[in-house]
Structure 1
């Protein structure tokens, strides 16, 4: 007698979303280790300035951008399972490599290679030429960020491709918003763990411990992932639900249907340009908040990395509101009868207004540091809601075989935007700190003209504060400028995308 068929659809697709969520969480934890350790632990050892850190983050952004272009093609070529494994394996290796930059710096500068972390610090402290310490250490960290960027570039193309495999179009924004919330959770967990690991065990162990999480994920991915039509945990009812869109209906196979999109072809579509423009304008905003908020709390409110843990925790708790970004377009589609692209664009317009609050972040900080913390949290939530939907527009407009490639092109554009904002922020903050700061109401360079050409010592401002001098730090004006740019970026992006693709058009 044949077994009774299961008349209820399985829900294994949500297990896959859980794995994507875990991968994205690890992805953002690995990115955050540097931003949460450089000011208190790494900078004193290597004498970095804001510009040095800005150079590292800017180069990471451009490495990530270029890698995204090829990562999408790589994932489409290797397919989802192998492509994701390669990506997370490479970025986990890159994360761990950061830990050994101090030892290699010691080896290059002193000739002592076979030392531990603490002895490397002692050797570096004996080097008199600070410029050599800065140049060597920055170069090594840039190399580690290169490896990290190459691997991390594969996360979103592979994840977006996976959601297209396991979800119908109407549910993809919700699935994307859930796994994309891993970015927020990673940023949330980071300040509660990384500074304390660094303080107790050294900044090097923070990179090693967080980097090792990626290797754990690889084991889970090998065990759980298969295509839905091949997976024993996906029954026919769930498979029918997944493949409810017209493009997923069984059709005769042909060379044209199996053919991959070339990069040249992809760049020829206005849908590609719309997606790329939206990413270029907005990705850098999120990366600025991610990379510079710990430094902002340190520079403006004099918090060390452990003191800023609670404000950063609250900030990213607020950012979790971004999950609404997956629900809202579904409401417009199911309740208002809009097509997926129109519903998504309507939702994105709503989300584009919330970042305008960033115009009040720096002025509000005069009252309490909690005001910019809350505002950045709301702006971050709006970004993640926007991000979940802009990623899903790719699945709305392109066939599955092109999704990872188009996602990679958008990542390239977003990475270029991120490079510009990170590099310019580092330059601006150092300039503002030096040229717009006043001491007892007198411009810093007028009171201490020698620093017009000389480097300001690391402990100079602490000594001034100890002496009772009244300091108005010009860096606050620098942050006001960047916050203002971040505030208007989303509306510019939305109107640009709408001009390029005013109505839903499927690429065939």
Structure 2
């Protein structure tokens, strides 16, 4: 009798999720890496203008997350993910045409290329109209991007719950979630170069097109594990090893309807939502504002080799987040913890690491590399935290509720991100204009120190509240 080796197709699905998340974050990063040095001179944006655009993106993303989770649960994983990445790729490409649209509205020049639009806008005397029109157009493009991107994590977490047992979910989540880091890592090495060589518009088009390529792979490679010819019996048994898990539904088979209001009656939902509210904004602040921070405080541009290397190193450090998937498994296998207990212990450890950001700004006077390294460590801790907080949903909710609850947490995280991004833009402009002084810092440096201080303590606050709401593992049976 021939022994058949257990297949490992679940890791192919994990890699698809990894690449989707990579593309997701590259699309999101294009604006942050081009606005200060390429877009702002053309449209005369201030920090407040950029802060408004990023804040509204966070709101759009937050609200869309709530409905995206419901949509993914309704359409199911395969179709839900296809719709999500299709919409966000269209949104990414739309950014490229905001200059031409601005030219048409403020100068009456519609049928021009990218270079012609720049010339037409440069000839407009009413700068405020250029600012207002361009900001509105970019907000619309960010709206489309946000609606699509909101589906990424609900669909990815749902796919992970379908293809991995509980004990492996933090590891698989940390692997695909590392796509955020790789995307943020690849972005400064590619986007400024594309923008400098072919114009900022082409950076949106080229990066946005990657999503359409991914859709082809997903369409042909994804099926439910018990329907997939590349998943053999042994692997399927491994995937379904949790006795308390409900069976995976076949494509098109309808599950019991999930009540959105009903999801809020569970303390587990509130714990997850609060954790996301307090911490998602920290990651988005680092993602959106680090290039501007280096430019404003250290006069290092994202288009400079020095700036590209600094952002690259920061996100290389963030790859340490892969430990976030291994540590809970260690606590479960070696210490006998249940999955939730192991995850919360790991998250407490990760919550202490961002405290190093408190000294990033003070020590930055010696060299900008100190804040780069310390913020990199904090970002790694965030991604490790993120992989585990997402996995708590799969630990405690049935599969049919996972995308919905993930969406609720995404809404909460988006609201928190809105506050920190919009508030930061206003704070930095105010600090720069008034030369505000705080804790020995002056101007924009004082503003950054205030935001860094919040980022440092946010995770500990989140952990304490989460632990108070859900002290121990409780599986939802509704």
TM-score range, shorter chain: over 0.9
Question: Which residues in structure 2 correspond to 1:65-464 (within 5 Å)?
Answer: 65-248=62-245, 258-307=255-304, 308-436=307-435
Unaligned 5+ runs, structure 2 = none
Instruction: Rate the CA distance shift 1:202–1:339 in 2: closer, same or farther, 3 A.
Output: same
Instruction: Rate the CA distance shift 1:105–1:249 in 2: closer, same or farther, 3 A.
Output: closer
- Measured in 1, the distance between the counterparts of 2:238 and 2:256 equals 26
Other structure's SS at 2:257 match: coil
Deviation at residue 156 of structure 1 after TM alignment? 0.1
Instruction: Rate the CA distance shift 1:104–1:345 in 2: closer, same or farther, 3 A.
Output: same
Pair 1:484-2:445 in alignment: no
Deviation digits for residues 96-124 of structure 1 (CA, Å, limit 9, x no counterpart): 00000000000001111000000100000
- Measured in 1, the distance between the counterparts of 2:339 and 2:465 equals 19
Deviation at residue 500 of structure 1 after TM alignment? 0.4
Give the match for residue 39 of structure 2.
42
Other structure's SS at 1:7 match: coil
Give the match for residue 451 of structure 1.
none
- Measured in 2, the distance between the counterparts of 1:131 and 1:341 equals 53
Deviation at residue 258 of structure 1 after TM alignment? 3.4
Instruction: Rate the CA distance shift 1:500–1:29 in 2: closer, same or farther, 3 A.
Output: same
Instruction: Rate the CA distance shift 1:250–1:16 in 2: closer, same or farther, 3 A.
Output: closer
- Measured in 2, the distance between the counterparts of 1:383 and 1:364 equals 22
Give the match for residue 456 of structure 1.
none
Deviation at residue 248 of structure 1 after TM alignment? 3.3
Other structure's SS at 2:347 match: helix
Paired residues of 2:42 and 2:118 also in contact (CA < 8 A): yes
Deviation at residue 137 of structure 1 after TM alignment? 0.2
Other structure's SS at 2:226 match: helix
Paired residues of 2:249 and 2:255 also in contact (CA < 8 A): no
Deviation digits for residues 9-67 of structure 1 (CA, Å, limit 9, x no counterpart): 10000000000000000000000000000000000000000000000000000000000
Paired residues of 2:246 and 2:398 also in contact (CA < 8 A): no
- Measured in 2, the distance between the counterparts of 1:248 and 1:325 equals 24
Deviation digits for residues 462-499 of structure 1 (CA, Å, limit 9, x no counterpart): xxxxxxxxxx9600000000000000000000000001
Give the match for residue 469 of structure 1.
none
Give the match for residue 467 of structure 2.
498
Other structure's SS at 1:127 match: coil
- Measured in 2, the distance between the counterparts of 1:252 and 1:61 equals 33
Deviation at residue 5 of structure 1 after TM alignment? 5.5
Deviation at residue 304 of structure 1 after TM alignment? 1.3
Pair 1:61-2:78 in alignment: no
Deviation at residue 260 of structure 1 after TM alignment? 2.2
Instruction: Rate the CA distance shift 1:251–1:175 in 2: closer, same or farther, 3 A.
Output: closer
Deviation digits for residues 256-305 of structure 1 (CA, Å, limit 9, x no counterpart): x9312210110111000000000000000000000000000000000111
Instruction: Rate the CA distance shift 1:314–1:414 in 2: closer, same or farther, 3 A.
Output: same
Give the match for residue 466 of structure 1.
none
CA RMSD of aligned residues (A): 1.5
- Measured in 1, the distance between the counterparts of 2:247 and 2:262 equals 25
Other structure's SS at 1:244 match: coil
Deviation digits for residues 162-210 of structure 1 (CA, Å, limit 9, x no counterpart): 0000000000000000000000000000000000100000000000000
- Measured in 1, the distance between the counterparts of 2:237 and 2:107 equals 65
Instruction: Rate the CA distance shift 1:44–1:501 in 2: closer, same or farther, 3 A.
Output: same
Give the match for residue 507 of structure 1.
476
Q: Which runs of 4+ in 1 moved over 3 A?
A: 248-253
Other structure's SS at 1:506 match: coil
TM-score, normalised to structure 1, is 0.91
Unaligned 5+ runs, structure 1 = 439-471
- Measured in 2, the distance between the counterparts of 1:270 and 1:251 equals 25
- Measured in 2, the distance between the counterparts of 1:112 and 1:383 equals 46
Paired residues of 1:434 and 1:474 also in contact (CA < 8 A): yes
Paired residues of 2:431 and 2:446 also in contact (CA < 8 A): yes
Deviation at residue 436 of structure 1 after TM alignment? 1.2
Q: How many pairs are equivalent?
A: 469
Larger Rg: 1
TM-score, normalised to structure 2, is 0.96
Paired residues of 1:243 and 1:249 also in contact (CA < 8 A): no
- Measured in 2, the distance between the counterparts of 1:432 and 1:426 equals 10
Question: Which residues in structure 2 correspond to 1:3-18 (within 5 Å)?
Answer: 6-18=3-15
- Measured in 2, the distance between the counterparts of 1:502 and 1:491 equals 15
